[in-house]
Structure 1
Amino acid sequence: MKTNGIQKISQLFKQLHEINNEHIQLWTEYVLFTWQWWLGLGLTIIPWIVWVIYRKKDSTLRLLSAGFFMMFIASWLDSLGIQLGFWEYHYEVIPFIPAFIPWDLSLIPVMTMVVLQIKPHVSRYIKGFLFALIAAYAAEPFFIWVGLYNPFTWEHIYSLPIFFILYIVSHLLCYGKSYQPL
């Protein structure tokens, strides 16, 4: 027999399912095929096309290791921020994922990989700071300006150390000594 707490969790899952269905219906009616949706779709696909063309071919796997790390962490942190009520997104490319796919799965990882391969002898701390500065104080305000992102309690300054640390970890993944022949 279910305990009272388990029954309440089951009720919440049913409510969540109903809310998700309503969200998908509203997304289909008000978001799909708007200019903001097309912008999101373009920001999801175009950076990867550009990266595939211009990447340093012999470093592809190193760069992808860093890029996939950034994808995973960015998606996780983004979902956490949404669930904690720090921000919300409008005009999602796909309504089933509670995060902004163009940012988490395209712009952040591709931007990381590009910065990693440009001037590889420049200090990772300088590049990390510039990466964090651009992400927090150029990209985030742009997404607010076009109406895709709405921070409730989040400030750009909070993003700065997070982006810096994530870039440093990505740099260590990309340039670490773990890439040896099998």
Structure 2
Amino acid sequence: MDKEKIADLIDENYYKIEELLDQKMQIWSDYVVFSGLWWLGVMLSIVPWILWILLRNKQSTDRILYAGFLTTILALTLDVLGDQYGFWHYRFNVIPLIPTYFPWDVTLMPVGVMFLIQIKPAVSPFLKALVFALLTSYAAEPFIHWLGIYQPTKWHHTYSVPIQFGIYLLAHYFSRRQKFQELA
């Protein structure tokens, strides 16, 4: 197939996606924004950060935020991949054109990890990772599914356990890094 035909196929696909995104925006603006589940999402996006700011270990803010940002990047990336491959999708998004659930990826996951890192720092990171993985996979995911926000299609909560376990361990590892060069 020549370059022009490939470009036409890609453009045609793009226009179909753009049309569907316009439809998604219309549904969101007509039915989702300002609904109870939308307000819940807004609160879940803001309140945990306020709690973290108030309750964080102030001497470790930078180190813990470093782990939180890593968690956010991993959560967003994996959530977008899962959505794009059709493993799950979200309803009642706070931000309509982001295919992930913003409160989960940008607030609940990173803030949860950051609190766990700073609470009882001498406890085994493997134990904390297990607790985090089990709570997120068997309590949080089923709860947001029950609310109707999260719809797994080709995914079972058990599949999330090793992923959540790994995310926590990686964040813990990064929270312990100290090899930063002084800026001149």
Q: How would you bin the TM-score normalised by the shorter chain?
A: over 0.9
Q: Which amino acid aligns with 1:28?
A: S
Moved over 2 A (4+): 176-182
Which residue is 2:21 aligned to? 20
User: Quick one: which amino acid aligns to residue 151 of structure 1?
Assistant: P
Instruction: Give 1:177 deviation, angstroms.
Output: 3.1
Partner of 1:162: 163
The secondary structure found in structure 1 opposite 2:33 is coil
What corresponds to 1:99 in structure 2?
A: 100
Q: Aligned residue for 1:50?
A: 51
C-alpha displacement at 1:96, in angstroms? 1.5
TM-score under structure 2 normalisation? 0.95
> How far apart, in 2, do the equivalents of 1:40 and 1:168 lie?
27
SS at match of 1:150: strand
How far off is 1:3 after superposition?
A: 2.0
Kindly report which structure 2 residues correspond to 1:33-72, keeping only aligned pairs within 5 A, or say none.
33-72=34-73
User: TM-score, normalised to structure 1's length?
Assistant: 0.96
Distance 1:99 1:32 in 2: 16
CA distance in 2, matches of 1:113, 1:3: 50
The question of 1:122 aligning with 2:123 is answered yes
2:167 and 2:24 mapped to 1: Cα distance? 32
CA distance in 2, matches of 1:162, 1:145: 21
Percent of aligned pairs with the same amino acid: 44
Distance in 1 (CA, whole Å) between partners of 2:156 and 2:181 is: 41
> Counterparts of 2:178 and 2:114 in 1: how far apart (Å)?
18
Compute the displacement of 1:176 (Å).
Answer: 2.4
Which digits, 9 at most, give the CA deviation of each residue in 1:105-146, with x for residues without a partner?
Answer: 000000000000000000000011001111101100110111
Partner of 2:172: 171
Residue identity opposite 2:93 in structure 1 = E
In angstroms, what is the RMSD of aligned CA positions? Answer: 1.3
What's 1:139 paired with? 140
Q: In the TM superposition, what are the counterparts of 1:74-113 in structure 2 within 5 Å? A: 74-113=75-114
Offset at residue 16 of structure 1 (A): 0.8
Aligned pairs, number: 182
Residue type of the partner of 2:116? V
* TM-fit CA distance, 1:161: 0.3
Q: Distance in 2 between matches of 1:167 and 1:181?
A: 28
Q: What 5-or-longer segments of structure 1 have no aligned partner?
A: none
Distance 1:18 1:120 in 2: 50
1:2, distance to aligned residue in structure 2 (A): 4.7
Q: What one-letter code is carried by the residue in structure 2 that aligns with 1:7?
A: D
